[in-house]
Amino acid sequence: MIAEAVVAARAERAGLSLPPDTVAALVAHARAVLAANARLHLTALTDPEAFVERHLGESLDGAALLSPDVGGILVDVGSGNGYPGVPLGLARPGLRVVLAEAARKKADFLRQVATSLPEGRFTVLHAQVQRPEDLGGVTPVILASRAMGNWERVLPRLARALPAEGRVLLWAGAEVEAILRRDAWRGLRVRRRQPLAGRERSWIWDLEKTPTVSSAPTAVH
């Protein structure tokens, strides 16, 4: 059983002081994932300690990279079991979170989870999100991706929908360094990366859009 005191302590280690109702919502989501796991195969981690560290803890570490007053829409691409999108939205209440999931049964699970979360701040997009037009008119300020297949192709396309100050939070390994050198990724650069505790060469990559430099017009004499 996942205890609220354990989750609150893990949040503190991430640098977050969360109110009791937020901790309770995090625990309720975690318990829902474990309860539905046998039917939906939402996680390979069923040991409570490992579950809290890998799913909740790593998601809260990502939330700590965002300003407490951050606002706008965050899209969790390939949300699956709701990590990291649910903890990101709960820890940063100025965000409205879109949980994008292609699998119908998992999307239905996320819709059920959303009914117990703060009203109007979590929505589910049942879609195969591959490019900006798949977002259904949503304009995100942040994209988040954790354990999504084919992210190296999908994320640079979706990043075109971000505003100039847009961010991408990516849970991945050292391969990101080489991938960022690809032409498709030239619109993004690393702001910082946060090591994941107990996981060798794994980080949360905090990326931002590369500013577009416009050259000054040539004077005509």
| Single pTM value for the model | 0.93
How many folded domains does the chain comprise?
1
Q: Assign residue 141 the CATH number of its domain.
A: 3.40.50.150
Q: Model confidence over 99-158: pLDDT tens digits?
A: 999 999 999 999 999 999 999 999 999 999 999 999 999 999 999 999 898 999 999 999
Residue 178 CB: number of other CB atoms within 10 A?
10
Structure-block tokens of residue 164: 């100039």
Tokens of 78: 């390939």
Largest CA distance in the chain: 77
Cα gap 124→214, rounded to integer Å: 38
Range of the domain at 117: 4-209
126 domain-assigned = yes
pLDDT at 210: 86
Instruction: Give the length of the chain.
Output: 221
| Cα of 45 vs its chain's centroid, Å | 19
Query: Is residue 21 situated within a structural domain?
Result: yes
